[in-house]
Amino acid sequence: MLRQLYLNKKSRLGYAKAGQGLGLPMKRKVLLFCLAVTVDLSAQQIAEIDLARHKPEKIEAQSADVGLAGCDLPHYTNSDGVILNGDSRTSLKVELTLPKETFKPGEIVDGQLLMQNVGFGPIVIPWGSDPKVINRPRDALYHECERGWLDVELKGAAKLSVPLESESESTSLYSSEPVSFRILQIEPGQWVIVRFKFLLEEKRQLSASLPLKPGKAEISVEWRQARYTWQRDGCAVETGTSTTITTKMRSL
């Protein structure tokens, strides 16, 4: 018998009955229509990307010692794990949509993520699908780049959370400073669509085995964004990694 997983899925529908009026004079009706158009124009989709289609076949890692010619024993320090305080005016909402409710373990799933700025200030995210854009120039003394990616998780009836495999099916998003290469600024009310794929199996990098069991389950997705810095002073190099945005949303 084929074992299947059933995902909770909700949908919302808003409607107005045909012919139902507001009972207002004509001048007021015209004014309300104009205000509705103004609000609608400020909330719009500005971009769309398919991370599965853009996934590179092979990623070449850049050597950590690029740009250190003449240093026999370079000295490294790092400040990994620092979490930056974001702008209190910014807020990113994400909504995950799946194509159906029933899946088989090991199945490749197509997901669609809507990411909307629901705050009062702009939000900047990486928007390049080629990982090479984060490679620093050989003679650079300072380099800064960002990476954004999706973490997918399944929670079953036993409340056990299982991280799902997505890195082998979809790429991350990348940007590089100081030239602001491959970034996207999302203004308040605007949103983007991100299409991606993931496997309905446990993440391959896990050291522990967390098998998926048939039954009702729930999928959640988390958008994560991190900044990486590299600064050289002679033969001394300081590196840093800081989380800039983390947000989670369950499937609809």
pLDDT digits (tens, 9 = 90+) for 11-46: 333 323 333 433 434 333 333 333 344 444 467 999
- Give the range with max mean pLDDT: 138-142, 145-149, 202-206: 145-149
- The DSSP line for 120-131 is SS-EEEE-B--G
157-182: per-residue pLDDT in tens?
667 788 899 988 999 999 987 666 68
pTM: 0.74
For residue 109, the 8-state DSSP code is: E
3-class secondary-structure state, position 191:
strand
Domain map (residue ranges) of the chain: 45-250
